[in-house]
Amino acid sequence: KGPKLLKTIQTLDKHIMEKLAVKTYNVSEVFVVFETEQGKVDCLNGLATTGLSRLRNNKSVLPPERLFRGEHILSIRVPPEPSSVRWNDLDETFVVRAFQRTITSLITLAIVGATCVLVIHMRTKYGVVASALTITASTTIIPILLRLITRFESHEDEGSWQTSLYIKLTFALWVVSALLTAYITPFTDSLAYNKRALIPAMYTLFIAEMFKTPIIAVSDLYNNFKRHILGPRQLDQRRMNQKFQGAVYRLSARYTEMTKVLFMTFYYAFIFPPGFIFAGVTLGVTYWVDKFSLLRKWKREPLLDNQIAKMSRTYFFSAALAVYALMCAYNYAGFPFDNACKLSTTVSSQYVGTFNATRADGMPVNITVPSGSYNYKFCQQDMMKYSPFPAFPPIPQNQPAGSHWMTPGQSFTNVFGWACIGVLVFVFFLMFSVVAKSLYRFFFRPQHFAKPRPGVSFSDVPDITGYIPEFFIPGSLFPTLLCDVSKISESMIFWDDINDPSRNSHNAIYDIPGLYNEENEENVFSTIQYWPPEGKA
């Protein structure tokens, strides 16, 4: 096998030299690190333009000396953390990225749709407990599938990729765990206590969520299997070390678990108040388990900016608050959830007695009608199902004529209804302000950036790293460098290999002799330069 493998490698080397070395590679991104924050702020202020000016390349908005080659406006921004840059995705165009995200979004919708069909089937055939357990299992499997799907998307940095994953995860789990349960539960079973009612389903869901995540995290079956079964049976030290790496975690998944529990609690808060207790216990246990995993089990992940936190705080937490106000108002207005309106007449004597009947779901019931009982008629108490539009706000004045079911004690519905409007208006302006800021930056030039902190220079920070192009190959212990790092300080690279301090064995420029040419301006590898400040060389 040795000679055959060597011949294959030589053939590939020749192919790369012939096909890639003669190809032209245009620069897609340039990263600049300043010695002082004042230098960074001066650059941002001096080159800042509106999005419209960059789109039209309106050269009149900047002096000629600030244009790239005197012809083009540069698009500048504060870059993400060095370890979070996805170097291989920087050259993808907007059209390609939009197409990729459209496809992955459609696949996400298909997965959610298939899950909904499965849950409805389990509830119809086996009951509410089976459907609740199916939902719990689905919320474990869906994140794995969505992570695999989102890998096909191109993003400039890890924060953007995880934000995309977070949006898909949150949408899928909110629909499956909260909205689907409400959809498949008959309105009249909202407060019932039978095997097809809503409350038993909520107990099953919340208890399953309380134990599922901690048990999966603490047991860590997959990684323990690698360490204790596969690891000792590897043929060499390098392969064994691969089996002893820490578990991979995603910040997007941790945020999703939190928002999912919070959304379920808010959605069913009026009908299932114990959900707040279950949610508090679940979030508390999850916090301690995640803290233990972060310190003891998880591997080091790229440093992220605040994209996920801003997305969650601005949109998802706000949406959960709006749903909380909306569902409390509609659920309070829909009490007592029996779709029956009392009439002023009493029942005829021919209906007095005990009768056998069958419910719409096929369950037999005994009905006793005593003498002097009042007549009732059907009235739709679910004000969200009014046609052609839901009743909004859900207040007594919006009850249909001749179908009034709200008691004088439900006068508090007015407070709920108008408070719901206030919360929705607040959430709308909160989200609109974010969109307005983006539109403002597109049409108006930013006036100032963050003020620099005096006294701290780049070279004074001992553990700071630079923007070093690299690519992580699955199964490798270290990333693969994509540039010549011989002329920069070793402290610029955030990882070390004690067996190879020079990191040459992890550098792609040495893989094929002759491919890297320092004098060639059209090099296939990235170029990195470092100019140390005076007195700190």
Q: State the pLDDT at residue 514.
A: 66
Closest CA to 354 of 333, 336, 375, 370: 370
Read off the DSSP letter of residue 230: I
Global pTM? Answer: 0.85
| Mean pLDDT, range 139-157, rounded to an integer | 91
Distance, C-alpha 234 to centroid of its chain? 36
Chain segment 421-445, per-residue pLDDT in tens:
888 899 888 888 888 888 887 787 7
Q: State the pLDDT at residue 452.
A: 65
Q: Which residues contact 203 (CB under 8 A, 6 or more apart)?
A: none
Chain segment 289-340, per-residue pLDDT in tens:
999 988 888 888 888 888 888 888 888 888 899 999 888 888 888 888 788 8
Q: Is residue 478 over pLDDT 70?
A: yes
Q: Which residues contact 191 (CB under 8 A, 6 or more apart)?
A: 197, 198, 199, 271, 336, 337
Distance (Å, whole) CA 329 – CA 392 = 10
> What is the CA angle 208-212-215, rounded to 5?
140
| Mean pLDDT, range 15-22, rounded to an integer | 68
Distance (Å, whole) CA 82 – CA 251 = 17
Tell me the percentage of the chain whose pLDDT exceeds 90: 13
- In terms of pLDDT, which residue wins out, 91 or 362? 91
Q: State the pLDDT at residue 23.
A: 67
Residue 495: how many CB atoms within 10 A of its CB? 14
Classify each residue of 502-525 as buried b or exposed e, where b means 16 or more C-beta atoms within 10 Å of its C-beta. Answer: ebeebbbbeebeebbeeeeeebbb
Distance (Å, whole) CA 14 – CA 21 = 10
Q: Is residue 148 over pLDDT 80?
A: yes
Q: How confident is the model at residue 520 (pLDDT cuts 50, 70, 90)?
A: low
Q: How confident is the model at residue 523 (pLDDT cuts 50, 70, 90)?
A: low
Give the start-to-end residue ranges of the domains of the chain: 87-305, 340-411
- Judged by average pLDDT, the poorest of 12-21, 25-34, 47-56, 270-279 is 12-21
- In terms of pLDDT, which residue wins out, 412 or 157? 157
Q: How confident is the model at residue 153 (pLDDT cuts 50, 70, 90)?
A: very high
Mean pLDDT rounded to a whole number for the chain: 84
Residue 188: how many CB atoms within 10 A of its CB? 17
Chain segment 128-143, per-residue pLDDT in tens:
788 888 888 898 899 9
Distance (Å, whole) CA 376 – CA 374 = 7
Q: State the pLDDT at residue 43.
A: 85
Q: State the pLDDT at residue 537.
A: 58
Q: Is residue 410 over pLDDT 80?
A: no
Read off the DSSP letter of residue 60: G
- In terms of pLDDT, which residue wins out, 513 or 325? 325
Q: State the pLDDT at residue 167.
A: 92
- In terms of pLDDT, which residue wins out, 142 or 42? 142
Tell me the percentage of the chain whose pLDDT exceeds 70: 93
Q: How confident is the model at residue 115 (pLDDT cuts 50, 70, 90)?
A: very high
Q: State the pLDDT at residue 132.
A: 82
Q: How confident is the model at residue 449 (pLDDT cuts 50, 70, 90)?
A: low
Q: How confident is the model at residue 172 (pLDDT cuts 50, 70, 90)?
A: very high
